[in-house]
Structure 1
Amino acid sequence: MNFFNQNEIEYKLIIKYVVGLFIMNIGIAFSIKSNLGSTPVVSVPYAISLITGIDIGICNTLFQCFLVLIEFMLLRSAFHPKHFLQVFVGILFGAFTSISMIILSIIPQASVLWVQILFLILGILFLAFGLFLYVPTNVVPVAVDGLTQAVSITTNQSFTKIKVIMDISWIVLSWILSFVFLGHFDGSAGIGTIIAAMSIGTAVKLMNMIYARFSGQEADLKKM
C-alpha cells in the first residue's frame, strides 16, 4: 500500500509508520548524546545546527524540504504532485527530532567511554527498530530516501549502491561544513556515525530474523 501507487492505506499502517519515524528519532537523539557523532541521515542538519545555533529539528525539516527540491530537479516530469507529501513527512520528521532531543535532555551528554558506547548501541538499536517498523509500511519515504530513489533512477544504479554513496556523502559534507565554519571535524559526524552506517542494516536484518522466528513470516523490507 503506497501513496506513490495511489492505493488505499490502512490506518494501522499509518500508525506503524508514524511510530517508526518517532522511534528512529529516539535513536538519532541517543546517537547525538553519545558524543561519537550523529547518524548519517541527520549529520548535515546537525552540523548546520551546531554552526547556526538553530534547533536541530528545524534544521532537519529545512534540510528534508531542500532534498525534495533536489529530487524535483532530478526527476522533472517524473516527479508527481503526490511526491510533495515528502515535505509534510519532513516537517513531521523534524518535529520528532526536536521532541526526541527534549525527551532525552534529562540525560547528560556521555563523557565516559562505556556510556558513549552504550548510547551509540542504543542509538543503533532504536534507529534500526524504527526502520523495521517504517520501511515495510511503504507509505511515503523520508526525503533522504526519496532523493536516493531519484538518484538511483536517473543514474540507473541500484538503490543499495546509491544509498551507501549518499550516506558517505552526507558524512563528508557534514565534516566539510564543520571544518569550514567551526574549525574542526568532530561534532556532527564521528566514529559513531561510521559505525552506525555500517551496523544499522545488519541490526534491521537481525530484527527481521527474530520477528520471522516468532511470527512465522518476515517483514517486507524492500526499499520504498
Structure 2
Amino acid sequence: MMYCIGLLILALGIILNTKTGLGVSPIISIPYSISKIWNINLGNATMCIYILCVAGQAVLRGKKFHLFDLLQIPMSIIFSRIINIFNDMIVINCNNLIINLLLLAAAIMLTGIGAYITVKMKIVPNAADGLTQALSERIKKGLGLAKNITDISCVIITIIIGLVCAGKIVGIGLGTLAAVIGVGRAIALTNMLFEKKMIVLVE
C-alpha cells in the first residue's frame, strides 16, 4: 500500500513540475521534450524512456542483472498510466511567477517524498532510480555522484533533441535546476523526519 502511495505522490510531483512552465525535472525532461516536439502522449514517451533505463541497467550490470530487475518494465507501464491520469486531470494556466514558484516548491517536495517512499519499501525501484543505482555500482562511487551524472546527462540529451529537432530548447528552465538541487534535499528531509517510522513499517 505504501509503495502504491509513493508512486502516486511521485507521479503527482513530476506532473506538477511540468505544469509550472518553469522547466521540468531532469529525468522527465527527455520524454517531455519528445512529447512536445512530436505531439506524443507524455505517459507513452515516459514509458519508452523508462524501458531504455532498464536496458541501460542490463548493460551496466552485465551478469549481475537479474530477472527480478525486469519487473521494472511492468512497473514503468503502470507508472506511465498514472502520469497520463494526472497530466489530463491537472490543468494550470497561471502567469503569476510567485504562484508558479510555490507550485514548483510543492512539486519538488512531492517528488522527493514519493521517491523516498518507493525506494524505502524495497520492492521494485523506479526505472530511473534503478539506472542511477546501477551506474553507482559500476563506477564504484556514491549515489549522489551517480545521480548528478544521470541528471546532467538527461539535461544534455534534452537540449540536443530540442535544438536538432525543434530549433530550440524544450522543457529546460529554472524548474530543472531547482529539481536537480531540491529533490535530493527533499529526500534528505523526509528521511530525517520519517526514517525510524519507515524502518518499522518495512520490518
Structure 2 length-normalised TM: 0.91
Residues in 2 aligned to 1:146 and 1:210: alpha-carbon distance in whole angstroms: 24
2:152 corresponding residue in structure 1 = 168
1:67-101 Cα distance to aligned partner (Å, 9 max, x none): 11122122222111111001011111211111111
1:207 corresponding residue in structure 2 = 190
Structure 2 residue identity aligned to 1:79: F
Matches within 5 A, 1:23-102: 23-102=9-88
**Count of matched residue positions in the alignment of Structure 1 and Structure 2:** 199
Alpha-carbon offset, residue 218 of structure 1: 5.5
Alpha-carbon offset, residue 34 of structure 1: 0.5
Larger Rg: 1 or 2?
Answer: 1
| Cα pair 1:38 1:190 within 8 Å, conserved | yes
Q: 1:74 to 1:50 in 2, by over 3 A?
A: same
> Where do 5+ consecutive residues of structure 1 fail to align?
1-14
Residues in 2 aligned to 1:49 and 1:95: alpha-carbon distance in whole angstroms: 15
| Cα pair 1:128 1:204 within 8 Å, conserved | yes
SS of aligned partner of 1:198: helix
1:144 corresponding residue in structure 2 = 128
Residues in 1 aligned to 2:159 and 2:105: alpha-carbon distance in whole angstroms: 22
Structure 1 length-normalised TM: 0.83
Residues in 1 aligned to 2:145 and 2:190: alpha-carbon distance in whole angstroms: 22
Query: Matched residues, percent identical?
Result: 31
Return 68-77 or 82-91, whichever deviates more.
68-77
> Where do 5+ consecutive residues of structure 2 fail to align?
none
